[in-house]
Chains A and B, each alone.
Chain A
Amino acid sequence: MSSPLKSLLRAAAPLPGETGRFAMGLSGFILLLAVLPILSMIVMSFSGASNLDFPPASYSLQWYKAAWNTFVSPDASDVLSLGQALTTSLLVATLSMLFATLVAVPAAYALVRCEFRGKAVALQLMSLPLVFPMVVLGLALLLIFDNLPFQLSTSRLVIAHVILALPFVVKNCTAAMLSIGNEVEEAAQMLGASPLRAIVDVVVPLMRSGILAGMLLAFIISFNEFTVTYFLYNIDVMTVPIWMYSRTVSSLDPTVFSFAVLIVLIDFALIWALEKLVGDGGVSF
């Protein structure tokens, strides 16, 4: 009588190598904590009150209305409107994405396909921006750009963002290239393609999803960058994160939360697209 129940229970128990319910629950809880700041900010943006008490006393869309008004008719007191900051942000992110990808694809090819002297050094250098203190990078780039004989405006942000995004893009391109065998390239060359043409027409299209993932990552990183940009921005060139910070230095008004929700939504859409693109393989970091 109890034996079917027992076997049912045994079937439900996780096999070795499967995650138990306890581990799943614990991980879920930890991940909830990890995204809690983002979630609480989203809830706060719907607050009907004008303070930061949580949970809010009432809910309304008043901050979204206020945010919309700021967007369409900027105060004269603002040094720069959100529209301009958004344009700059998108421009910088797009340029950084393009440059980082153009630079990373050949680098990935060299790192995967070639055996050469100094490869270990090259690999170390590629991951250097990942661990390089961002504050020092900001300080150092500011030193360089301020001592140049000519003025750079948007391009100094692009250069900084390309450096920051490079390890991520190279990593994704390398992973994509590793999954393509040497033989396709050899076949193309045997059929008469020059080595360069074999790369451009055969290898690069096969790497498409890895390259696209790298591009998306570069865009997200540039669009969200704060620390280095904080050192490099000036009145004419300001990205959205800097604009938001300059608004909240004196006091935190919840309109900022509605802008923040918009940005989080954009980020989430990009991340979701990124994961879909890379599929089950997972993004490489």
Chain B
Amino acid sequence: MALSTLTRQVGVAPLRPAKTFSPTARAWLFLSPAMLFLGVLIAASLLVLRMSVGTKGAEWSGFSLASYAQLLEPYYLKSLLLTLRLALVSALIAVLLAIPVGYCMSRLQSPLLRRVFLAAVLLPLLVNLLLQSYGWLVILGPGGMVNQALMGLGLIDRPVMLLYNQTGVLMGLVQTAFPLAVLPIASAMRGVSRSYEEAAATLGASRAQVFRQVVLPMSLPGIITGATLVFAYNASSFVVLLLLGGRRVPMLAVMVHDQIAPLMNWPAASAAGVVLIVTTLAIMTFSEFVTGRRRRILEASQ
């Protein structure tokens, strides 16, 4: 009885309407709810693009490149350069710090230590940036941890100004974006099999040599991805600047907001936003190109 049910079912299967869908149509059907939300994102960026060539007062009908021309004025140009410089420096520092941490995370044996490490990496990423900025105020403030320590050591007589300038902002940028560098590096290093390290060590390489000549080159795609993520994230960083920069470090993201809130100049804000998007996309494409080539070379050599 049960057997005959089974055979009948299998025989019916090819007639099911689901099979008549083309695989592409079926896949996009499954993707459509997610695409609905991503569609909002894309529509929103197109709106920003349209708005950026509008004119103040006639945002939807006017057309002028005045907002972009305004971005070429010395003040805005300086802000663009400052944005790129701080993002680049923070990416370099974050990656340098992330390499040892990523290596340890990829090689840890004890489950408890792994959970503690992962929690310490995830906390700065997931805890509200506002709260972490409060912490930075405690550390960098005039009576804060760093100044007290430096005065205690007799290195300085009066508190040095660490807040509301580029030093404080840079530290904040590195710390908040640090997890974005660690995670891809750790996952790339997990992909480097231990047998390579053992082989190198057997052939007489010292620990430092093994790390520098085997592990680092093989996880380079992850390192580049990490650097790119930090750069992209920090180029448009907003909260850290709002709290630690005190508006005295005019990066692009702050300008986008200032153009809206006090000035109501939507086209200018949009133009600055478009510059941010283009910068991000350019650096992502470049990194994709570099890591893609690197990966092909690695695959060919294995």
Contacts and interface: CB of A to CB of B under 8 A. Distances in A.
Interface of A: 15-20, 23-24, 26-27, 30-41, 43-44, 51-55, 102-104, 106-107, 109-111, 114-119, 122, 125-126, 128-137, 139-144, 159, 162-163, 166, 170, 189-192, 194-196, 217, 220-221, 224-227, 230-231, 241, 244-245, 248, 252, 256-257, 260, 263-264, 267-268, 271-272, 274-276, 280, 282-283, 285
Contacts of B33: 102-103, 106-107
Nearest to B210: A16
B141 interface: yes
B37 A166 contact: yes
A140 B273 contact: yes
A23 B103 contact: yes
B221 to A, nearest CB: 15
B66 interface: no
Contacts of B178: 34
Nearest to B33: A103
Contact of A16 (B9, B27, B117, B200): B200
B41 interface: yes
Contacts of A220: 126
Specify which of A102, A139, A195, A248 lies most central, judged by the most chain B CB atoms within 10 Å of its CB: A139
Contacts of A116: 23-24, 26-28
Interface in B215-260: 229, 232-233, 235-236, 238-239, 253, 256-257, 260
Contacts of B72: none
B273 A133 contact: yes
Contacts of A103: 33-34, 36-37
A37 B125 CA distance: 12
A27 B13 CA distance: 57
**Interface residue tally on B, bucketed by range:** 35 or more
Interface in B6-41: 6, 9-10, 13, 16, 18, 23-24, 26-31, 33-38, 40-41
24 contacts: A16-B194, A18-B109, A30-B97, A30-B100, A31-B117, A31-B121, A37-B135, A37-B139, A40-B145, A41-B131, A52-B137, A103-B37, A111-B31, A116-B23, A118-B28, A136-B236, A137-B44, A226-B128, A241-B131, A263-B128, A264-B131, A271-B122, A285-B183, A285-B187
Interface string B150-176: 000000000000000000000000010
A54 B235 CA distance: 31
Contacts of B276: 133, 135-136
B280 interface: yes
A268 B118 contact: no
A247 B126 CA distance: 22
* Residue among A37, A128, A166, A248 with most chain B CB within 10 A: A37
Contact of A114 (B27, B43, B134): B27
Contact of B104 (A24, A32, A37, A137): A24
B24 A227 contact: no
Contacts of B291: none
B65 interface: no
A107 B141 contact: no
Contacts of B121: 31, 34
B48 A140 contact: yes
Interface of B: 5-6, 9-10, 13, 16, 18, 23-24, 26-31, 33-38, 40-41, 43-45, 47-48, 51, 97, 100-101, 103-105, 107-109, 111, 114-115, 117-124, 126-139, 141, 143-145, 148, 175, 178-179, 183-184, 187, 194, 197-198, 200-201, 207, 210, 229, 232-233, 235-236, 238-239, 253, 256-257, 260, 266, 269-270, 273, 276-277, 280, 284
A31 B260 CA distance: 37
Contact of A118 (B24, B109, B126): B24
Contacts of A194: 16, 18
Given A133-B236, A271-B123, A226 B130 contact: yes
5 nearest interchain CB pairs? A37-B135, A140-B44, A133-B236, A53-B143, A17-B194
Contacts of A106: 30-31, 33-34
A163 B23 contact: no
Contacts of B45: 132, 136, 140
B127 A264 contact: yes
Contacts of B114: 280, 282
Contacts of A104: 34
Contacts of A159: 37, 40
Contact of B27 (A23, A43, A110, A274): A110
Contact of A191 (B9, B40, B184): B9
Contacts of A136: 45, 48, 236, 256, 273, 276-277
Given A30-B97, A37-B124, A271-B122, 13 more contacts: A16-B207, A16-B210, A27-B104, A31-B121, A37-B175, A40-B145, A107-B31, A125-B35, A140-B41, A163-B38, A195-B16, A224-B129, A252-B137
